[in-house]
Structure 1
Amino acid sequence: MLRSPVLVVFALLLHLAAYAGPPQILIDVARFRNLNKVEKGAEVEIYVTVPTQSLTYRQRAPKSFQSAAIVTLEVLKADGTPAYREVVTLKPPVLNDTTIAIKNPQSFLKRILLPDGKYTVRGTVRDQYRTANGETTVEKPLVLEAPAGPFFSDIVLLARPAARSVGVDNFSRGGYRLTRTPGNVYARGTENIFFYTELHNAPTGQPLRVHYHLTTPDGSAADADAVLNAQSGRPTAVAGQLPLGPLPDGPFTLFIEVYGGPGNKTLLTGHRVIGERNSPEYAPAGAAVPR
């Protein structure tokens, strides 16, 4: 029995919508101090990633399928009023075969100057080609304040080593070009984690000792030390990498500590970040394999 081409296309679209599931959105937030001494606050980096497997692909032409997502990014003050709002439309590249299991994610980065205080970061993704179950919202608390004495900015986990760069754009900071790993997840094929942070108000005039400690809930650990010469009057960039080695799959925590004083034995400050190793799966950075 022959089927109408319209019914075939309609059935295909229903299949794609069912396969895709609800849209997903990843939000990574990093706080860096605003160097403006007059208006104290922070430069907040918000890295938004939308895995495209969760989107509905509409047929535009023979062997031509495309999806689209509308992302609403908001930063709300403690009283609920908006401090920032922007709507971004993401259109992934056209595919000629929607059965491809792994599709590259779509990401963008925003840098926002905000006064110190308490906020909520909210990201909403809407599948442009689906109405039912086609929207997802994620919220994250955000507190901006400057500690007294030496302190680290947030630690950013990277997909590849921080590369020296003289260019200035949204992906450069402290003289480095940074490529983030969405959701702080490292998939199969990754043997190292890469990171970047900034040290503020550290004493100058003598080399400091930086200690890196990588650990997992089962007690597995890796350690390394480095020498750091703090910059005067501006933050000191700290970039590096550590091997994952025999660490098991699952969550890990990276601690970065800096020591000074006689023999570099006095802890000046420290900070941590939580990531995840997921070696059974392979995917481009930020792309989640469909379940």
Structure 2
Amino acid sequence: MRFLLTFLIGMAALAAQAGPPQLLLDVARFRNIDKVQKGAEVEIYVTVPTQPLTYRQRAPRSFQSAATVTLDVLKADGTSAYHEVVTLKPPVLNDTTIAIKNPQSFLKRIYLPDGKYTLRGTVKDQYRSANGETTVEKPLVLEAPAGPFLSDVVLLARPAAKSGGDDNFARGGYRLTRAPGGTYGRGADNIFFYTELHNAPQGQPLRVHYHLTTPDGSAADADASLTPQSGRPTTIAGQMPLGPLPDGPFTLFIEVYGGPGNKKLLAGHRAIGQRASAEFAPGGAAVPR
């Protein structure tokens, strides 16, 4: 009887707190260096916070949630360029009142010709019919600028680690652990990032300038030297201290300079993130099942 009362109270509290499921889509565009299959490599990093999901009892002191994520890439004419459904089964919990439930993340790398697309992601709570589905859409433009250019800047949860592996988490000789939603939570003192420079002039060192700023005017700057790689994209991986920057959104600008005295702007890109020092924002990805 005591267990039943505790269970009912827990379920009532969970139902009161339950909102619609959430879905974070982080998209990074890279050039496909394959001369046969031209176009872009698109990395879609999907994160589903498990806090809003419904947990079903499987056994005494055993609860689990489940969700499906449907990913679609639609061409400009509305036809499908990519479609996949992924099922997520978060770890079993013995107590649904646990305040921290780790999000579930996975990464997909797809190859698309240049053009205009729409990325659509839908998450569905498997154990809830009412208010149990959320859809997120993002425009996706793939093109190759003329001259030197930077790929999208990827915000990382930890430093890019040298790796000889060949999987979705490896790029440019590094293993990348993304920061879901570009959010840096409790205990994060630095932001980490990765991008690639294309069509860089050969035979001269370049200067890379990093500028981190927030809406209230707080800022931090750093410089580094860069020697372009021949015949391949030049990787740029680094970090910047968050220091005294306040909570809230921030923008990281990465600029590459060359020419006489390295004063001519050759390429630039930016990434927008979020600092939330009071929240728990773990990094890393779980393998989808």
Q: TM-score by structure 2 length?
A: 0.94
After superposition, where does 1:207-286 map in structure 2 within 5 Å? 207-285=205-283
Kindly tell me: are residues 263 and 130 of structure 1, through their superposed partners in 2, closer, same or farther at Cα, counting changes over 3 Å? Answer: same
Note the C-alpha offset of 1:36.
1.9
Structure 2: distance between partners of 1:162 and 1:213? 19
Deviates more, 1:120-129 or 1:10-19: 10-19
Q: Structure 1 residues 286, 218: CA separation in 2 closer, same or farther (over 3 Å shift)? A: farther
Post-superposition CA distance 1:94-140 (Å, at most 9, x none): 00000001101101100000000000111100000000000000001
Alignment: residue pair count: 285
The equivalent of 1:132 in structure 2 is 130
Q: What letter corresponds to residue 69 of structure 1 in structure 2? A: A
Q: For residue 34 of structure 2, what is the aligned residue in structure 1? A: 36
Q: Distance in 2 between matches of 1:142 and 1:120?
A: 5
Q: Say if 2:184 and 2:281, in contact at 8 Å, map to a contact too.
A: no
Gaps of 5+ in 1: none
* Cα displacement (A) at 1:40: 2.4
Alpha-carbon distance in 1 for matches of 2:273, 2:281: 16
CA contact (8 A) 2:69 2:121 kept: yes
Q: Residue 241 and residue 135 in structure 1: after superposition, are their counterparts in 2 closer, same or farther (change >3 A)?
A: same
**Of the candidates 184, 196, 203, which is equivalent to residue 194 of structure 2?**
196
CA distance in 1, matches of 2:3, 2:167: 52
RMSD: 1.9
Q: Does 1:123 align with 2:126?
A: no
Query: In structure 2, the residue corresponding to 1:263 is in which secondary structure?
Result: helix
**Structure 2 unmatched ranges of 5 or more:** none
Partner of residue 64, structure 2 = 66
**1:106 and 1:235, CA in 2 relative to 1: closer, same or farther beyond 3 A?**
same
Kindly indicate whether the alpha-carbon contact (under 8 Å) linking 1:17 and 1:55 is maintained by their aligned counterparts in 2. no
Quote the Cα distance in structure 2 between the aligned partners of 1:66 and 1:133: 19
User: 1:18 deviation in Å?
Assistant: 3.2
Q: SS at the partner of 1:233?
A: coil
Does residue 162 (structure 1) correspond to residue 163 (structure 2)? The answer is: no
Counterpart of 2:104 in structure 1 is 106
Q: Shift of the alpha carbon at 1:12? A: 5.0
Q: Quote the offset at 1:50 in angstroms.
A: 0.3
Q: Secondary structure at the match of 1:227?
A: strand
Q: Does residue 147 of structure 2 align to residue 171 of structure 1?
A: no
1:213 is paired with a residue of what secondary structure?
strand
Q: Kindly indicate whether the alpha-carbon contact (under 8 Å) linking 1:17 and 1:130 is maintained by their aligned counterparts in 2.
A: no
The sequence identity of aligned pairs, in percent, is 81
CA contact (8 A) 1:13 1:58 kept: no
Distance 2:237 2:36 in 1: 28
**Letter of the 2:253 counterpart:** F
CA distance in 1, matches of 2:92, 2:158: 27
Give the SS at the match of 2:129.
coil
Contact 2:27-2:43 at 8 Å conserved across structures: yes
CA 1:203 to 1:97, structure 2 compared with 1: closer, same or farther past 3 Å? same
* TM-score normalised according to structure 1 size: 0.94
Deviations 1:154-202 (A, max 9, x none): 0000000000001111100000000000000111210000000000000
User: What is the deviation of 1:10?
Assistant: 6.7
Pair 59,281 (structure 1): closer, same or farther in 2 beyond 3 Å: same
Partner AA of 1:210 in structure 2: V
Separation in 2 of the partners of 1:166 and 1:219? 40
The answer to whether the aligner puts 1:151 opposite 2:149 as a matched pair is yes
What letter matches 2:79 in structure 1?
A: T
